[in-house]
Each structure stands twice: as C-alpha cells, then as structure tokens.
Amino acid sequence: MPTAEEFQRYQQGPQSPQERVWWDRYSHRNLEQWRQVCDDKADACTALIKRGRPSDMLAEVESRARSEGGVFQEFLDHCNTVPGWVDFAELEKGRKVFLQYGPLQGLVLLCSSLVEGYSYNKPAQVLVATGRLQKDVTRRIYETGQLLHNMVGEGGIRPGSIGHRTLMEVRLVHSAVRQFLWHSGKWDAAKYDQPINQEDMAGTVLEFDFMVARGIERLGVRVPDAEKRLMHYYWRYAGYVLGVDEALLSASIEEQYILALQLMSHLYSPTGDSEKLAKALLRDMADKPPFMLSEGMLLAFAEFLLGSVVAKDLNIKGTLPNRLMVRAIAGALRTTSVARPLLPQFIQQFVGETNHKVRRKNISDGLGGDPSQFAFRSLA
C-alpha cells in the first residue's frame, strides 16, 4: 500500500454496512475478473483501422461510421450517450475547480500520481512492453498535459467540446496499444492479464482525481469536501467517455476511497522497472516548463508527496537542502491557501483563466509548437 495510514485503514476493513457493500463490490476477487475485460467497442474499431495519430484514428472512425455504420457508429454512440446521472451544471463547477488548481494539479501529477502509478507493476508493464520505458518521456507528459488542458477548456467535457473529443482520441489510443501488444508477441497475458484492462483504466481515473486531491492536500492546501466531490464527479463522467465500465466508476468520494484502498492493495508491487520509469520521468522533465525545477527538486517533491513507503520502495531520495526547500514551499502554500476562498469570485475566475492560458503556451512549446504535429487535434 502507498502509505502506512492507508495500509492500516485497509487492514481495519469495512466500518459500516454501506462500506461492506463497496468492499465486496471492489474485492480483489472481483477486481481480478475485471483484469480480463478491456473495451469491446473501441477494440472492435481499432481492429479494423490503421494505427496512427489519435486525431487521425478518430477521424477514420467518424468517416467509416457515416459510410458503414456498424462498430464505428456503436463506438461513437457510446461516447456521445450521456448517462442519466450526469448534470452538466455540476460538471461546469468541477471544470472551474480544476482551473483553480491547475498548477498544483500538474506538480502533483508529475511528482506523485504518475510516479506512484509506476509502482503498480502490472499496469506499468505496458510502458515496458511498448518500448516507452525510457524514451519519449517528455512528449508523453506534454500529451497528458494536452488532455488535461483540453478537458478544462471552454465547454469542458460536454459532447461536442474539444475536451470530449480528446477523451475519445485517448480511448482509441489505449485500444490501439492493446492491438499492438496482442499482435506483437511481447505481452504475457498469463502473467500480466489483459493490457490496459478495466482495472488499469479505473486506476488511471484515480490517478487524475483521488491522487491529485490527496497530493494537493499533502502540499498543505486544504481541499474542501465540496470541491473533492466536484473533482470526482468530473472524472466519473470522463472515465465513462474513456471506456471505463460504470460498475467501476464510484458514485461518491466515500465509495471512491474504498475503491482506492482495494485497488492499491491489489496492484501495489514495485519492481526495478517501477524505479526506472519514475526516475526517467523526473530526469527528463527537469528544467522544463511549466515548473523549471531541477532534477534534485523534482526528486525532493516526489519524496515529500509519495510518503516514506513508496519513496523508499522506488529509491527516491532528495538532498537535505532540497527537502528543506520543498517543506518551505509547502508551508507557504498552506498559508496562502487560507485566503483563497475569501477572494472575490471574479478574481478567482481571472486566476483560473490566466493559469489556463499559461498552461496552453507551455504545452504548445513542449510539443514543438506545430499544431499539425500534435497527437490530439486541438489545443483548447
């Protein structure tokens, strides 16, 4: 388990009848079954199209849906069907929360969520098998940044928006990677189960939601439960568009916590590959926008955010000066965050929009500045 506190909480088991329901729903036995399930609708499409840039694959799916219908139209129908529990007014509130936390979200993702994700050995093997263990690291991070940036652009993730389209493109990327691994002879399904399966996909949603909120709080910023609920709600719908089965999309932050405990205890198994992935990420993103932090500072932030258990397992250590600097930054964030809720709404909105504009430039520059070469069609 990633933290001693979470391990202790897992050992305690369910603490109420409702928690017992969730505990059973996300039991290791049930999660094991989800490891054999992928994304039939997306996989039926990618089996019939040429693997390429995400925007090109989605364009082909759309073209063939118009001319052939069939599996291509079924994929589009699923992506564009809005579940009955979705409230776009609430999603808009969630979009604004993520705009406010944009810079901190990026730092937590880089130094905590993604690094911790590498400690889950089975999902991490996809990067090993595809040869992206220690290459294309920077581009992968900026492409992830483009996804998150687009998700909080105008229209958020409402069908027809740039954010929604980008989620569809990512869904096809995941499926194309599965097709590659299935046909490459490089994937050991008996050992690692199906690549990018439903449990892995549910874990990815937790990285961008649960782990982000947890990491922001570790930096000293209090995230109110109301904002956590909006962040969770936003990614619940995003997960649906990405092809995660609704049975693995928790309906509340309380249920999400039980899912996180079960999933982490089921998958946490760091290896030498986990350490290589983590250190390649931090090394390659050193001195790059948006943070322009040295490798030593990124290591210190990672050690601070991950906690002693994961940091030790991945052999991530910061120097004493960098550790002290990180703690000083966290202390400053704790102090300044107290005043944020007191600021007038128009100032908070201005800050969020400014963060978005700065992030746009950083991502564009990081991807080479040529939109025609970006993996995803648009940059919000």
> DSSP assignment of 208-260, as one string?
HTHHHHHHHHHTT----HHHHHHHHHHHHHHHHHTT--GGGS-SSHHHHHHHH
Helix, strand and coil in the chain, % to nearest 5: 70, 0, 30
Q: DSSP readout, 354-373?
A: HHHHHHHHHHHHHTTS-GGG
CB atoms within 10 A of CB 254: 15
Using DSSP, state whether 268 is helix, strand or coil: strand
What's the CA gap between 100 and 216, in Å, rounded?
Answer: 12
Banded pLDDT at 183 (limits 50, 70, 90):
very high
Contact 160, 152 (CB under 8 A): no
Phi first, then psi, for residue 191 (nearest 5°) are: -95, -40
Lowest pLDDT segment from 121-130, 178-187, 198-207: 121-130
Phi first, then psi, for residue 222 (nearest 5°) are: -75, 125
330 pLDDT higher than 90: yes
Q: What is the pLDDT of residue 135?
A: 65
Query: In the chain, where are the structural domains located?
Result: 4-367
**pTM of the predicted model over 0.85:** yes
Q: DSSP readout, 154-203?
A: TTTTSTTSHHHHHHHHHHHHHHHHHHHHHHHS---HHHH-STT-HHHHHH
Distance of CA 68 to the CA centre of its chain: 33
162 pLDDT higher than 70: yes
Q: Quick one: residue 187, left, alpha or beta (phi over 0 = left, psi -120 to 50 = alpha)?
A: beta
Q: What is the pLDDT of residue 34?
A: 98
DSSP character for 110?
I
Task: At 237, list the tokens.
Answer: 């719908």
DSSP character for 28?
H
120 forms bridges with which residues in the sheet? 268
State percent of the chain over pLDDT 70. 98
Each residue of 65-81: pLDDT tens digit? 999 999 999 999 999 99
Mean local confidence (pLDDT), 173-199: 95
133 pLDDT higher than 60: no
Q: What is the pLDDT of residue 352?
A: 79
Contact 119, 269 (CB under 8 A): yes
Contact 152, 99 (CB under 8 A): yes
Residues 6+ apart with CB under 8 A from 295: 282, 283, 286, 287
Lowest pLDDT segment from 36-45, 169-178, 328-337: 328-337
Lowest pLDDT segment from 117-131, 141-155, 297-311: 117-131
Banded pLDDT at 134 (limits 50, 70, 90):
low
Q: What is the mean pLDDT of the chain?
A: 93
